[in-house]
């Protein structure tokens, strides 16, 4: 009986080595999967913050630079002014120019993105195109780069989000 018991112990020792290798392989695969899931969630979180900030800036800029007036035909017209000086020249009454308001809103809200980003690039009005103001549109593009740690190192995530707010005609339902 003791010979049988020794063979069982030897076989168990051989199996424990194979089990250990399988366990290490399983833990490595599980760690890689969790790392990919965390990377995805971190990138989604940053993307959500970028989009919310861009939307806030464009909607605030549009609201501040918007002037509604009635033309000689009795129709309501809407115009978006880039600066307060442009509005004063046209005798328009606006809170502040859209570009001026966007700069203020960006300055107030960029700290939320700076906590989660390594580099931030912002382009207002596709490079300050005047025709967008004439159409009543405020356009903002925000590009954020962030290095996100994963199981085997770091990956660069580049997030490019666009927000555009316009002055649109209200249609009755």
Averaged in consecutive runs of 10 residues, what is the pLDDT profile of the chain (173 residues)? 61 64 85 79 84 92 87 84 88 88 91 86 85 86 85 82 80 55
The pLDDT of residue 106: 92
Question: How many Å separate Cα 106 from the centre of its chain?
Answer: 14
In a domain, 37, yes or no: no
The pLDDT of residue 95: 85
Provide the domain limits for residue 62.
43-166
HSE of 165, CA atoms in CB hemisphere, 13 A: 21
The pLDDT of residue 8: 55
In a domain, 1, yes or no: no
Element (H, E) at 162: strand 153-166
In 3D space, the residue among 133, 106, 99 whose CA is nearest the CA of residue 120 turns out to be 106
Q: How far is it, in rounded angstroms, from Cα 103 to Cα 124?
A: 9
User: In the structure, how many helices (H) and strands (E) does the chain have?
Assistant: 5, 5
Element (H, E) at 103: helix 98-114
pTM, two decimals, is: 0.73
In a domain, 119, yes or no: yes
Q: Give the total number of structural domains in the chain.
A: 1
The pLDDT of residue 11: 60
């Amino acid at each position: 009986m003791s010979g049988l018991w020794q063979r069982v112990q030897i076989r168990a020792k051989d199996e424990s080595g194979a089990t250990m290798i399988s366990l290490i392989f399983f833990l490595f695969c599980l760690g890689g999967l969790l790392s990919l899931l965390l990377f995805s969630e971190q990138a989604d979180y940053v993307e959500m913050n970028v989009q919310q900030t861009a939307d806030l800036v464009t909607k605030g800029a549009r609201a501040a630079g918007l002037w509604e007036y009635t033309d000689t035909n009795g129709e309501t017209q809407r115009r978006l002014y880039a600066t307060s000086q442009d509005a004063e020249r046209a005798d328009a009454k606006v809170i502040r120019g859209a570009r001026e308001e966007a700069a203020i809103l960006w300055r107030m809200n960029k700290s939320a993105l700076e906590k989660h980003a390594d580099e931030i690039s912002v382009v207002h009005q596709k490079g300050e195109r005047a025709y967008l103001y004439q159409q009543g549109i405020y356009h903002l593009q925000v590009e954020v780069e962030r290095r996100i740690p994963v199981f085997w190192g770091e990956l660069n995530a580049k997030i490019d989000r666009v927000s555009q707010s316009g002055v649109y005609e209200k249609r009755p339902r």
